[in-house]
């Protein structure tokens, strides 16, 4: 199909039969959660997608090949090896040429999904404009990708390690559709509210599908964000998570971290500072995103 792509038999069959498919990212496996919870989470995500009528396609780069759908060994490698690079748009060509292993971020997962013809993607949270970006210039490449690539991304908003207000301004400027699913609030990953509202809120999967289909039919550039808040019962107390985030940011500044190391460091420190309770919430919210993404992928197929 494409010289750089390697599609698993299960995903290839789904593509051939025009079945619903959900892309899943691998940076949350390699750099977002500790072993063995990361592998457990990745497998559970795939199962949730299957139970809801779609086929999961976890995306990563193995030995320089763009993989769409991973086998057990590949997932194990991503979850345990210390040599897995975090790959965003910028890094893809070098990782191919050097035949390296890489986990894909939201940006690079969108790119590879889109090459494979997959339209729906579930993740935990998107990257965004970091606090203090007016000095550091740290704006995640995820936002540029959302502005350019036609994939619907189901997420629990973004963490307040970011400047959520500036992230939303950026997305507005670049014409990225954002819909709150059963909420009027833009969620902040561990919490259902961020202090920011979404302009549009939808109660049904059918309406989400119609929205994204309109974007596709009009050939409007860019993706769509389905902001799906963490279920109430798994939400974290605001003060506890906020304190951990503030402390983690302070430490990352003290260490002088820059570039792609910032986000993985913050995720790891937040997990340590909350003694693993944030990891539990993290797992639950990604599961909920996989569920909604599977329903959306199925609905998109039935529209046509
Ligand atoms: N935010 C999270 N969890 C994550 C990430 C972000 O709450 O796992 C990962 C995603 O893969 C996202 C990437 O695409 O970090 C963004 O990294 P950066 O900020 O370096 O662009
Ligand atoms: Mn960054």
pLDDT reading at 304 higher than 90:
no
Q: Residue 117 and residue 113: Cα distance in Å, rounded?
A: 6
Residues of the chain with pLDDT > 70, as a percent, come to 99
Mean pLDDT of the chain: 97
Q: Which ligand is nearest to the CA of 257?
A: 2
Q: Does ligand 1 come within 6 angstroms of the Cβ of 240?
A: no
pLDDT in tens, 78-136: 999 999 999 999 999 999 999 999 999 999 999 999 999 999 999 999 999 999 999 99
Residue having the nearest C-alpha atom to atom 8 of ligand 1:
28
CA of 37 to the centre of ligand 1 (A): 17
How many other C-beta atoms lie within 10 A of the C-beta of residue 2? 12
pLDDT reading at 200 higher than 90:
yes
pLDDT in tens, 3-25: 999 999 999 999 999 999 999 99
How many other C-beta atoms lie within 10 A of the C-beta of residue 4? 13
Residue having the nearest C-alpha atom to atom 7 of ligand 1:
125
**Atom in ligand 1 nearest the alpha carbon of residue 31:** 8
| β-bridge mates for residue 243, sequence order | none
Tell me whether residue 159 is one of the annotated catalytic residues.
Answer: yes
Domain interval for residue 209: 5-303
Q: Which ligand is nearest to the CA of 155?
A: 1
Q: Residue 47 and residue 58: Cα distance in Å, rounded?
A: 12
Give the pLDDT of residue 63. 98
Give the pLDDT of residue 270. 95
Give the pLDDT of residue 164. 98
pLDDT band at 242 (very low <50, low <70, confident <90, very high): very high
CA of 162 to the centre of ligand 2 (A): 10
Which of 67, 119, 159, 260 is labelled catalytic?
Answer: 159
Tell me whether residue 25 is one of the annotated catalytic residues.
Answer: yes
Q: Which residues contact 144 (CB under 8 A, 6 or more apart)?
A: 89, 107, 174
How many other C-beta atoms lie within 10 A of the C-beta of residue 205? 18
Q: Kindly list the distances between the CA atom of residue 71 and the CA atoms of 57, 90, 92, 236, 263, in Å, as whole numbers in the listed order.
A: 10, 26, 21, 33, 27
Total count of domains within the chain: 1
Q: Which residues contact 217 (CB under 8 A, 6 or more apart)?
A: none
Q: Does ligand 1 come within 6 angstroms of the Cβ of 27?
A: yes
Query: Region 179-199: what's the mean pLDDT?
Result: 97
Give the pLDDT of residue 46. 98
Q: Does ligand 1 come within 6 angstroms of the Cβ of 25?
A: yes
Q: Does ligand 1 come within 6 angstroms of the Cβ of 263?
A: yes
Pocket test for ligand 1, best of 32, 161, 282 (most atoms within 8 A of CB): 32
Give the pLDDT of residue 14. 98
| β-bridge mates for residue 190, sequence order | none
Q: How many Å is the Cα radius of gyration of the chain?
A: 18
Q: Does ligand 1 come within 6 angstroms of the Cβ of 299?
A: no
pLDDT reading at 142 higher than 80:
yes
pLDDT reading at 1 higher than 90:
no
Q: In whole angstroms, what separates CA 253 from the centre of its chain? A: 25
Give the pLDDT of residue 191. 97
CA of 89 to the centre of ligand 2 (A): 12
pLDDT in tens, 44-91: 999 999 999 999 999 999 999 999 999 999 999 999 999 999 999 999
Q: Residue 59 and residue 49: Cα distance in Å, rounded?
A: 14
Which of 25, 46, 74, 235 is labelled catalytic?
Answer: 25
CA of 180 to the centre of ligand 1 (A): 20
Q: Are strands 65-68 and 55-62 parallel, antiparallel or unpaired?
A: antiparallel
Q: Which residues contact 124 (CB under 8 A, 6 or more apart)?
A: 28, 32, 155, 156, 189, 282, 285, 286, 289
CA of 239 to the centre of ligand 1 (A): 22
Q: Which ligand is nearest to the CA of 144?
A: 1
CATH number where 148 lies: 3.40.1790.10
- Concatenated DSSP letters of 169-195: HHHHHTT-EEEEES-SBPPBTTBS--S
Q: Residue 293 and residue 285: Cα distance in Å, rounded?
A: 12
């Amino acid at each position: 199909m494409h010289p750089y792509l390697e599609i698993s038999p299960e995903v290839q069959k789904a593509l051939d039969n025009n079945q619903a498919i959900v892309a899943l990212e691998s940076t949350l496996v390699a750099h977002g959660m500790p072993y063995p919870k990361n592998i457990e989470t990745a497998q559970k995500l795939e199962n949730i997608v299957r139970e809801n009528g779609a086929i999961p396609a976890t995306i990563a780069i193995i030995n320089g090949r763009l993989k769409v759908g991973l086998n057990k060994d590949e997932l194990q490698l991503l979850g345990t090896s210390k040599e897995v690079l975090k790959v965003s748009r910028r890094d893809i060509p070098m990782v191919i040429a050097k035949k390296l292993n890489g986990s894909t971020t939201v940006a690079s997962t969108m790119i590879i999904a889109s090459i494979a013809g997959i339209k729906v993607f579930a993740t935990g949270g998107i990257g965004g404009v970091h606090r203090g970006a007016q000095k550091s210039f740290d704006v995640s490449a995820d936002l540029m990708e959302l502005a350019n690539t036609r994939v619907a991304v189901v997420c629990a908003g973004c963490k307040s390690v970011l400047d959520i207000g500036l992230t939303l301004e950026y997305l507005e400027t670049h014409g990225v559709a954002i819909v709150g699913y059963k909420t009027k609030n833009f969620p902040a990953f561990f919490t259902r509210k961020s202090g920011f509202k979404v302009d549009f809120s939808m109660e049904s999967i059918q309406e989400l599908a119609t929205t994204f289909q309109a974007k596709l039919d009009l050939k409007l550039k860019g993706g769509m964000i389905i902001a799906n808040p963490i279920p109430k019962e798994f939400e974290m107390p605001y003060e506890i998570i906020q304190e951990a985030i503030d402390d983690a940011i302070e430490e990352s500044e003290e260490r002088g971290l820059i570039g792609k190391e910032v986000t993985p460091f913050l995720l790891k420190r937040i997990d340590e500072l909350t003694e693993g309770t944030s990891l539990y919430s993290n797992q639950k919210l990604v599961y909920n995103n996989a569920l909604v993404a599977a329903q959306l992928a199925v609905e998109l197929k039935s529209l046509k």
